[in-house]
A and B are shown apart, each in its own frame.
Chain A
Amino acid sequence: ETGVTQTPRHLVMGMTNKKSLKCEQHLGHNAMYWYKQSAKKPLELMFVYSLEERVENNSVPSRFSPECPNSSHLFLHLHTLQPEDSALYLCASSQVEGPETVYGYTFGSGTRLTVV
């Protein structure tokens, strides 16, 4: 496996379910991200794990809970979601080497989530 792998590719869940999205990167990067892509909206940064620190967008509801057990794996735990949470959830990774370096992201293919 190379790059950034996300599973599952598609997920349909009820509002009372609990599920998890998984992301794995094989690039040796030290930062991982969760983004949400809704129709006609910009990609929305949800969570960042960079250099073992977590940064989050304060507007993300608590029904989304990230977990990053190591630099290669990232999870997004979902519980009691709402239909408006239906979207494409993208995982990305990058290398962070210091304040003056900027590297682009490598994205996974995403998980298409539908909440019914």
Chain B
Amino acid sequence: DQQVKQNSPSLSVQEGRISILNCDYTNSMFDYFLWYKKYPAEGPTFLISISSIKDKNEDGRFTVFLNKSAKHLSLHIVPSQPGDSAVYFCAASVTNTGNQFYFGTGTSLTVIP
């Protein structure tokens, strides 16, 4: 059973606009969440994280929002740039379980110049 879900396989956004990538999870024990970005022919790279004690974490153009009651998190990129075009993976973990993460299937973002 898939514990982390990214229901949108792809998203296209105009340059300069906001990109919103969504992630849902089913395990209420998850308390730490990450977003990874992956370019073709490269491994995923860490982008931003959030702990369940927060509902928002911001790093430059990237903001992650966490809604624990809805078991939902989202990644906002504003303004979007063509270099942001990549596949974005959401990942979740339960503290005290050995640093193991569960990943979603990814959302492919295309930012149109």
Name A's B-contacting residues (CB within 8 A). 4, 6, 9, 31, 35, 40-43, 45, 48, 50, 55, 90, 92, 94, 96, 99-110
For residues 53 through 109 of chain B, which have their beta carbon under 8 Å from a beta carbon of chain A? 89, 91, 93, 95-96, 98-106
Name B's A-contacting residues (CB within 8 A). 2, 4, 9, 32, 34, 36, 41-46, 49, 89, 91, 93, 95-96, 98-106
In contact, B99 and A43 (Cβ under 8 angstroms)? no
Using CB atoms, name the residue of chain A closest to B4: A42
Q: How far is the CB of B88 from chain A (nearest CB, A)?
A: 13
Known A-B contacts A40-B105, A43-B89, A104-B49; A31 and B99 likewise in contact (beta carbons under 8 Å): yes
Could you list 5 further interchain pairs (A-B, Cβ under 8 angstroms) beyond the known A43-B103, A104-B91?
A31-B99, A42-B106, A100-B95, A101-B95, A102-B99
Q: Which residues of B contact A94 (CB under 8 A)?
A: 99
In contact, A109 and B101 (Cβ under 8 angstroms)? no
